[in-house]
Structures are given as C-alpha cells and as structure tokens.
C-alpha cells in the first residue's frame, strides 16, 4: 500500500493579519458544525482515493484550526479512521496563541494530535500590533506554558524582514524563543503578497519595505545563531532539534502523494494534481450536491513532476539525491539538467558531490534564482 499525507484546511480566523493572503474567512460559531460536516462528507467523496493507502501524517492547517472545538476535530479524525488506514507518527494542528485554553490543548493531545504549530511571528509587541496579530508576547508565553504541559513537539513560526524591525529586534526575538526550547522553528521572510492590506499600505506610501540587504543579514544571522543552539537547518526556512523534522512538510518537498480536504486545499495523487475551490459557498454547494469541489485538475506529466521534484527537493539542505531521481524517473538528472547545474555551480549557488546536489549558503539566500533555472 502506498503512503499518503493528508492536509485539512480550516479557513477561519478571528481577524485578518495585514500580510496574509491565505484563504480565510471571519470565524463564526455557526460555521463550525456545518464546515465539519462538509469535511466529513468530502472524506466520503474521496474514499476511492483513500483506498489502499496508508496515511503517514495528518496536518490541520489554516486559518486557525485551533479555533475549532476539540470534539469537531476528533470527529474528523474518527471519520478518517473509519475510511482509511492510518499509521501516522505525526498529527499536527496549527494554533494561534491569542486565546490560551489549557483544557482545549489537553483535549487535542488526548485525541492523538502530537505536534502543535504556533504562529508567534515576533516577540516584539509593536511589531505584532503592526502585523495585525491579535495577541501580544505575554499572551503567547501563557499559551506556550500551557501547551508545553501537553505537547512534546512544538513548532514556532517567526517572521523577519518586517517593516520597522531592526536586526537587534530580530536577534532578541530569536534569543527569547530559543530560551523556550521549541523542537522546531519555521522562519519566513515577510513577502508582500497581492491583495493584502500590507501591499495597499506600501502602495499608499504608508509603509516602507525593509532593504533587501538587511533582510539577508537577518537570515544569515539566524542560520549561524541556530546552529550554535543545536538546531539542524534542514530546509531553507525550517530548523529542528534532531529527530523533530516535520514529516508532513518533507512529503511536500519530496513531492510525494498528498490529499487535501477543505476550501482551497490542493492534492497530488496518482499522477494528478487538483485544487478545491476557494469559494466557501461553491465548496459547500458542491459537497452537498455529492460532487467533488475541485476547480483545477491537471494531469501531471512526468516532465512536470520531475521539474517539481527537483525544484522542491533543492529546498532541503540534504540536497537532491541523483540516485533517487534516477530510480523514480529513469533519467539521470546530472545529464538531463547538465547546463542548468553547471551554471548554478559556476555561480557558487549550488555544490555537488557524488550523489547530491545541494544549495550553498549563497544559494540559500538566492534560492529563487536557483529554482528559476530548473523551472
Ligand atoms: S492567523 Fe494566520 S491564517 Fe489567520 S489571518 Fe493571520 S496569518 Fe492569516
């Protein structure tokens, strides 16, 4: 039986952060049961895709999945359990620290969720306010203390390159967070996405983006600092203590089969790729009508799959195994991509040994330049 990785999108948030372009809707109590029932119906509709599969990870992302009552999350897990074979070592739920509730955290842990991913972004209250986060650092600390009693494996998300953030502020954030000893850290540089409040603020001249060289300095500082604190840099934006790399996200970077549920969730399974509608009404109408809520379905030809596998695999610090690619696609990427590889090696962006092609430190900073070569 083939492995499968499951993503469940819970698209509700209490407020909208200024940089966020994820598909989210304002949280309303009356949506909880309805959305949970829709998800369960979608699981039934996708039962053929779940057949003869072993589910290795489940990831509740959002939005803010932790807003959902534990009983609803449990019900979704039970539905999956009845529909497919689950042999997972990792079930993650994303949480917003704005409402510390220990009983809720304990319930999530009791139902088998064993990885908590908390969106902190910064330890600086002025920065949190600027970002539109609905919590301050003290509230996060209360939440973290409660979470620690129930979760051994915690990820903390941080942002750098935020307008108004200095290198010293970033150093302070890292130091504070490391003192809490989370098992995993995801550090993303703030990107200004279309259709965000931040984008409009910049266009109106209300906010000036940080200079690129300062952002690069922040990233380089994190790489060096986290290494001295025992964190393994295993993907461009992700660090973990030994043994705590996120199995679910690795499935994306290795371009393995995953199945998404919920509004806007994407899937890659059996040589096909498809995405659910981002429109919650269309999603609901399709499911109630017994139809899959898919809006974009494409066959995945081997060339496209190869490109994606190379492009995503290069994000990982262990690099791309030429042997694995050869086994999976029957071609030797060293020769297939010889021009591209030569170019990025000559530019000092990538290094190559007998079996691995991996990013150099310069390549990590200029990842997009490298990836463009292979796209
Ligand atoms: S909490 Fe996360 S998903 Fe919700 S608006 Fe903020 S960034 Fe977006």
Residues 353 and 230 in one domain: no
SS3 category, 343 = helix
Domain count of the chain?
Answer: 2
One domain for residues 233 and 117: yes
Q: The tokens 């920065």 sit on which residue? A: 127
Residue 24 lies in a domain: yes
- 58 within domain boundaries: yes
> Is ligand 1 within 6 A of the CB of residue 64?
yes
Which one of 238, 253, 268 terminates a domain? 253
Q: Is the pLDDT score of 285 beyond 80?
A: yes
Within-domain flag for 206: yes
Q: Which residues contact 32 (CB under 8 A, 6 or more apart)?
A: 68, 69, 72
CATH code at 343?
Answer: 1.10.10.920
pLDDT, tens digit, for every residue of 43-85?
999 999 999 999 999 999 999 999 999 999 999 999 999 999 9
- How would residue 375 be classed by pLDDT, with cut points 50, 70 and 90? confident
Q: Are residues 246 and 357 in the same domain?
A: no
The domain in which residue 346 lies consists of: 319-374
Q: Are residues 6 and 84 in the same domain?
A: yes
On whether both 237 and 352 belong to a single domain, the answer is: no
Q: CA-to-CA distance for 128 and 96, rounded, in angstroms?
A: 13
Average pLDDT, the chain: 96
Regarding the beta carbon of 24 and ligand 1, being less than 6 Å apart is answered: yes
Same structural domain, 173 and 77: yes
Does any domain span residue 213? yes
Specify the ligand 1 atom closest to the Cα of 132. Answer: 6
Shared domain check, 332 and 242: no
- For ligand 1, mutation pick of 11, 12, 19, 20 (most atoms within 8 Å of CB): 20
- Name which residue sits closest to atom 5 of ligand 1, judged by CA: 16
Same structural domain, 99 and 200: yes
pLDDT value for 95: 97
User: What pLDDT is attached to residue 100?
Assistant: 85
The string of pLDDT tens digits covering residues 103-130 is: 999 999 999 999 999 999 999 999 999 9
d(CA 286, CA 267): 17
Residues in the chain: 375
Atom of ligand 1 nearest to the CA of 94: 2
- Nearest residue (CA) to ligand 1, atom 2: 63
pLDDT in tens, 19-43: 999 999 999 999 999 999 999 999 9
Position 267 in a domain: no
Residue in 24, 65, 159, 263 to alter for ligand 1 test, most ligand atoms within 8 A of Cβ: 24
Report the candidate in 218, 24, 213 with the shortest Cα–Cα distance to residue 122: 218
Give the distance (Å) from ligand 1 centre to CA of residue 318. 30
Asked whether 158 and 169 are in contact (CB, 8 A), the reply is no
Residue 204 has pLDDT above 90, yes or no: yes
Pairing of strands 184-189, 238-240: antiparallel
Domain-embedded: residue 284: no
Q: Peptide bond preceding 44: is omega within 30 degrees of 0, i.e. cis?
A: no
Q: What are phi and psi of 294, to 5 degrees?
A: -85, 135
* Residue minimizing CA distance to atom 7 of ligand 1: 20
For residue 24, the CA-to-ligand 1 centroid distance in Å is 7
Spatial distance between the Cα atoms of 32 and 74, rounded to a whole number of angstroms: 13
Question: Where is the domain boundary, 205, 229, 253?
Answer: 253
Mean pLDDT, to the nearest integer, of 292-319?
Answer: 93
Give the nearest ligand 1 atom to 62 CA: 3
Look at residue 163 in the predicted model and tell me its pLDDT: 97
Residue 333: which pLDDT band, with cuts at 50, 70 and 90?
A: confident
Does residue 282 lie in a domain region? no
Integer Cα distance of 21 and 339 in angstroms: 36
- Chain segment 224-268, per-residue pLDDT in tens: 999 999 999 999 999 999 999 999 999 999 999 999 999 999 999
198 in ligand 1 pocket by Cβ < 6 Å?
A: no
Regarding whether 328 and 191 lie in a shared domain, the answer is: no
- Ligand 1 center to residue 16 CA distance, Å? 6
Query: What CATH number does the domain containing 134 carry?
Result: 3.20.20.70
Which tens digits make up the pLDDT trace of 138-194? Answer: 999 999 999 999 999 999 999 999 999 999 999 999 999 999 999 999 999 999 999
Return phi, psi of residue 57, to 5°.
-145, 155
Q: Answer with the one of 253, 280, 306 that is the final residue of a domain.
A: 253
User: Ligand 1, atom 8: nearest CA belongs to which residue?
Assistant: 20
The verdict on 197 and 112 lying in the same domain is yes
- Is the CB of residue 158 less than 8 Å from the CB of residue 119? no
Neighbours of 262 (CB within 10 A): 25
| Residue 278 CA to ligand 1 centre (angstroms) | 16
Q: Tell whether ligand 1 has an atom less than 6 A from the beta carbon of residue 11.
A: no
Is residue 306, in this structure, part of any structural domain at all? no
């Amino acid at each position: 039986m083939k492995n499968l990785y499951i993503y469940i999108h819970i698209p509700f948030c209490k407020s909208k952060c200024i940089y966020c372009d994820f598909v989210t809707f304002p949280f309303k109590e009356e949506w909880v049961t309805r959305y949970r029932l829709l998800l369960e119906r979608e699981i039934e509709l996708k039962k053929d895709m779940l057949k003869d599969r072993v589910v290795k990870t489940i990831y509740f992302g959002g939005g803010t999945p932790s807003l959902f009552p534990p009983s609803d999350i449990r019900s979704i897990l039970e539905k999956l359990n009845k529909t497919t074979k689950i042999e997972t070592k990792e079930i993650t739920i994303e949480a917003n620290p704005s409402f510390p509730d220990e009983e809720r955290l304990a319930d999530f842990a009791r139902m088998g969720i064993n990885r908590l991913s908390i969106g902190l972004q910064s330890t600086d209250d002025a920065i949190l306010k600027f970002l539109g986060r609905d919590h301050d650092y003290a509230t996060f600390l209360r939440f973290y203390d409660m979470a620690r009693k129930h979760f051994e494996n915690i990820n903390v998300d941080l942002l750098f390159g935020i307008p108004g953030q200095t290198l010293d502020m970033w150093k302070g954030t890292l130091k504070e967070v490391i003192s809490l000893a989370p098992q995993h850290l995801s550090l993303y540089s703030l990107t200004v996405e279309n259709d965000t409040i931040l984008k409009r603020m910049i266009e109106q001249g209300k906010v000036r983006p940080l200079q690129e060289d300062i952002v690069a300095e922040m990233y380089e500082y994190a790489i060096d600092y986290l290494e001295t604190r025992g964190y393994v840099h295993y993907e461009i934006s992700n660090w973990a203590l030994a043994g705590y790399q996120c199995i679910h996200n690795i499935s994306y970077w290795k371009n393995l089969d995953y199945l998404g549920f919920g509004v806007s969730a994407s899937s890659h399974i059996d040589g096909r790729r498809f995405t659910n509608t981002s429109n919650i009404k269309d999603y609901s109408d399709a499911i109630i009508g017994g139809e899959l809520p898919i809006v974009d379905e494409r066959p995945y030809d081997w060339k496209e799959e190869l490109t994606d596998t190379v492009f995503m695999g290069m994000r990982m610090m262990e690099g791309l195994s030429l042997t694995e690619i050869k086994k999976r696609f029957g071609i030797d990427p060293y020769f297939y991509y010889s021009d591209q590889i030569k170019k990025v090696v000559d530019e000092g962006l990538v290094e190559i040994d007998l079996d691995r092609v991996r990013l150099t430190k310069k390549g990590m900073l200029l990842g997009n330049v490298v990836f463009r070569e292979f796209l």
